[in-house]
Structure formats: structure tokens, C-alpha cells
Homo-oligomer: A and B are copies of this chain.
Amino acid sequence: MNLEEKTLEKNTLFSGRIINLRRDTALLPNGATATREVVEHPGGVCVAALDDNENLLMVKQFRYPYMEVILEVPAGKRDKGGEDPLTCGKRELKEETGATAEHYVPLGELYPSPGYCDEIIHLFAAKGLTFGETCPDEDEFVAVEKIPLETAVQMVLNGEIKDAKTQVCILKLKALKERGLF
């Protein structure tokens, strides 16, 4: 079954600080055309960092679109120009929590909302932590919390942790540990 669509026309409607917006015309598999709204994003990286006592480093942050403070793993945007994901992850972990990690293991990629957004989030687990100063971005306010991994798993399963990348990181990290792979 042919599922592929082709771009007939690309139209950038907005170029912002974080995202751009396009409205394209696409050719569908049945020969019809349709408009496709696309949010462009440079991509993100997040790091699930575990300290020597099996605590996960997490950050509480006000998320403006929800007008709500939520709990997440440290994360940030890749610099434009395709910054290396691991370099970005190390920087974001340091900026938000002050931590530097000795060991990193990739936890795969995540497509947050593939119907209309092209963002790819790269996930990492990290351990072997040492702590220094935090250095958050100017307009970023975060509060660091250490949460036992088992508590974090329960918070995902009972719905207290809602952020997509954080849910996936915690459940994958747990699965890796059960398999002796982290």
C-alpha cells in the first residue's frame, strides 16, 4: 500500500525564536491534494541522569503553554546548524542542574507530535555524576529535584509525570536497568 505524500508547494508563514510555521500543499497517494501545517523546530535533547544513590535529577519548570509547573528531565534545544545531540545534552544537564556525567547511554529518539511537528528529541541516560554551579539561560527558571528512580517510575505509571520525553526516559531507563544494561 502506497502511503507516501509529495510536497507540491512550501509556504513559510512565520519564523520565530523557537519555531517556524509552514503551510504546504501536498500530493496524496490517491492523487488529491491537501494542505499540511508543519511546525519546524531545531530539535531537542534530554538527559535522564542518575546519581550514585539511584536518584534521578529532575527539574521543575513553568511551562507557559499549559500555565503549569511540571516535572521533567533536564532538556534543551539543539543550537541551529545541527548541533551534536550529546554535546547539547551535556550542556543542558550542566546548565540546569550543575551536573557533569562520566557515562552516557543513548535512549533513542522521540517524535513528540508527528502529525504537525518535525521536532526530534534525542534521549540519553547518564551516570557517574559530579556537581558544580548551575548556569540557566536568562529567561529560564528551574528548580532541581532529586527523585528516587523507583518513585519516578511510579509517578509515570500513576499519571503524575506528564511530559512525553520524561515518561519515555524513565520507563526506558528502568527497562535497561532490569536487563543489566545500565
Contacts and interface: CB of A to CB of B under 8 A. Distances in A.
Interface of A: 1, 3-5, 7, 13-14, 16-19, 21, 23-24, 26, 28-30, 32, 34-39, 41, 44, 60-67, 69-70, 72, 77, 108-121, 139, 141-143, 153, 156-159, 162-165, 167-168, 171-172, 175-176
B118 A3 contact: no
Contacts of A29: 62, 141
Given A30-B141, A109-B162, 20 more contacts: A3-B142, A4-B69, A5-B64, A16-B23, A17-B35, A19-B39, A19-B116, A26-B64, A41-B116, A65-B116, A66-B111, A111-B163, A111-B164, A113-B113, A113-B117, A156-B172, A157-B172, A157-B176, A168-B168, A171-B175
A24 B65 CA distance: 10
